Each structure stands twice: as structure tokens, then as C-alpha cells.
Amino acid sequence: MTDAKYAPAPAEPPPSYETAAHAKPPPPSRLPLPLNLPLINSLRDRRVILASASPRRKQLLAQIGLTKLEIKPSTLPENLSKSLDPFDYVLQTATQKAMHVYSSELNNAELGEPAVVLAADTIVVSISGKVLEKPRSEADHIAMLKMLRNSGYHRVFTAVVAMAPLASAQHPGYAKESTVEETTVRFGRDISDEMLLAYVRTREGADKAGGYAIQGVGAILVERIEGSWDNVVGLPLRATLGLIEKVLDQSDEDEDEDEDEDEDQ
């Protein structure tokens, strides 16, 4: 007979998928000191817009010192055909987000034009080439994770697009740079169904394409990755910084040329 002193407390039922998908993320831990880089410092008091509601992307950018982000997610429907090549699908989706938010904020009478607009899109692609959505139910979630475990590996693509206005009216009026990063993720083949069920019931992966969070408890499912870790989280930071630097350099060069033309007149 089990001693009542050590009897396990009855577990609370996990929240529904609708509730879990809209739950607020836990507060971030104390951020490190920002990077003392000219690029980061130049953006301290300028409008940097993240065209995404993802708290994970916001936190990744905050970790390098971009803490004063304006969060303005695109409201365009993400309805591109899943028959597109994953590279094209994720890049077109991120580009649409960037263009939509950039266009809506360019003539902001109160705040002025943005210094840079960042947009990103992340997809998880099965070994058969299927783009995986967020799980719709517990049964769907379990089936998704079993498939990822049994298939051996899957791929995560993140497209990032950066846009900055040009001082001149030269067509198209903005600088735009983009990149698509790919990371291969392998789940452990020895992960038990019991572990998958236990993870599913944490609901951590309920609001994530592919059904898991590598930056959280979902790390226990991952045996190894090939590529950048933060790409799987949702934003490859090194590549993103490179894009920001490129569009701002183009914007600054355009402004210098515009000033030179004014002096020559």
C-alpha cells in the first residue's frame, strides 16, 4: 500500500491548444550588457521596427542590445501555396511581411520614417518536404513529434528581410537585403512515446511550427543540429546583423550622394 505521505498529487489537466497558443511567455531572465558595436550604438535612438509578434525574436534582438524595438507585426494573411519550394515559400512570406509594414510606417507623421524594418519567417520541413504547421490538437501534436523522431531528421528554414529608406527619391526608394538560413535538426531515435507525451502535455510547443521549442524543454528531444541554433529559435542573429549593416550602409551612402548633389547645384 502506498504511503499517503508519498502519494503523488493529482496532476492538473494541461490547457487546451487554443489557450496555450495565446499564453504569455515567461519573463526573460536578466539580459547581458549590450554589445558595444558602432552598428548597435547607431540604432539606440532610431526607429527599429520588428515586423513580428514573436517574443522569441524580440528576446534574441534584445540580447545583443536592440531593446527599444517597435513591434508591428504584419496583418497580411500568410496564404502562399505550400507547393512552393521551402526556400521560396519562406523568403516570399518574410518579404511580404517586410514590405507591408515598411509601406505602412514610411509616412508616419508622428514618429517619422523608420531607420530599419526587420521581418522574418520560420518554417519546419519534414524529410518528405512537407511544411509543418502548428499542432492543432494533442493527438496531432503527438503524431507530429513521432513523425519527426522516426524520420531521423528535419530542416528548419528562416528567412530574414531588412529594409531601410533611401534619402533620394531614386527608385525604389529603399534598400532591401534578405537571407535564408537552413539548419538540420535530428531528434533522438531512442526518445520514448512516454517522453513525447510528457513533453506535449507541457504545451510548450503548442504555438510553434513543428511542435517543439529548442530553446526550452524541447531541447531534450534534440540529439544534434547542423547549422545555427538561433535559426531554429526563429532568428539567426549573425546573419540578421549583417543584413542591417548592409541596408544602413546603402542608406548612408545614398544620403551622402544626395548631399553632394545639393552642394554641386
Separation of first and last alpha carbons in the chain = 96
C-alpha cell at 138: 494533442
The H helix count followed by the E strand count for the chain is 8, 7
CB within 8 A of 121, min separation 6: which ones?
78, 90, 91, 93, 94, 97, 158, 159
| DSSP 8-state secondary structure symbol assigned to residue 20 | H
Catalytic residue among 88, 121, 207, 264: 121
Exposed, middle or buried, 246 (CB in 10 Å: 0-12/13-18/19+)? middle
Q: 204 with 189: CB under 8 angstroms? A: no
Backbone angles phi, psi at 122, to 5 degrees: -125, 135
The answer to whether residue 121 is catalytic is: yes
CA angle 132, 200, 123 (to 5 degrees): 20
Q: Is 25 exposed, middle or buried (0-12, 13-18, 19+ CB in 10 A)?
A: middle
User: Which triple of cell numbers denotes residue 196?
Assistant: 513525447
d(CA 99, CA 206): 29
| Alpha-carbon gap, residue 220 to 194, rounded angstroms | 13
Q: Which residues are catalytic?
A: 121
